[in-house]
Amino acid sequence: AGERTEPLREAEIELIEGDRRGLFDIAHLLFPDGGLRFSRLSKSARGFLLAERGWIDPPLAPRNAQTVPLDPNETAELAARDILRECFDQVATNMVVMQRLDDPEGPHQLRVGLRRLRSAFSVFAPVLKSPEMTRLQDEARWLGHVVGGLRDLDVVTNDIIRREAETHPDQPGLAALDAPLRQHADAVRKEVAETLTGARAQAFVLDLTRFVETRGWILPADFDQSRRLATPIARLAETALAAHWKKAGKCARRIEKLTVEQRHDLRKELKKLRYAVDFLSPLYSRKAIDPFRKRLRKIQNVLGALNDSVIVAATLESTDLDAIDDRQVQRAIGWVIGASQARAEGCWEEAKARWRDLEESPQFWKKAG
CATH number at residue 340: 1.40.20.10
**What is the mean predicted confidence (pLDDT) over 265-280?**
95
In a domain, 223, yes or no: no
How far apart CA 13 and CA 355 sit, in angstroms, is 52
Please list, residue by residue across 92-107, b when 16 or more beta carbons sit within 10 angstroms of its beta carbon and e when fewer do. Answer: bbbbbbbbeeebbbbb
Query: Would residue 102 count as lying in a domain?
Result: yes
Q: Is 232 helix (H, G, I), strand (E, B) or coil?
A: strand
| pLDDT single digits (tens) 172-220 | 778 778 888 888 889 999 999 999 999 999 999 999 999 999 999 999 9
Q: Find out whether 246 and 282 touch, Cβ atoms under 8 Å.
A: no
The pTM (predicted TM-score) of the whole model is 0.92
Q: What are phi and psi of 107, to 5 degrees?
A: -60, -35
Query: Is 184 within the bounds of a domain?
Result: yes
CB 98 within 8 A of CB 147: yes
Model confidence band, residue 230 (pLDDT cutoffs 50, 70, 90)? very high
Specify if 53 maps to a domain.
Answer: no
Any domain includes 55: no
Tell me which residue range forms the domain holding 304. 60-215+231-360
Question: Model confidence at 316, in pLDDT bands (50, 70, 90)?
Answer: confident
- Structural domain count, the chain: 1
* Residue range 58-82: mean pLDDT, rounded: 95
Query: Is the residue at 226 inside a domain?
Result: no
Q: Is residue 8 part of a domain?
A: no
- Whether 88 is covered by a domain: the verdict is yes
Q: How far apart are CA 213 and CA 325, in angstroms?
A: 55
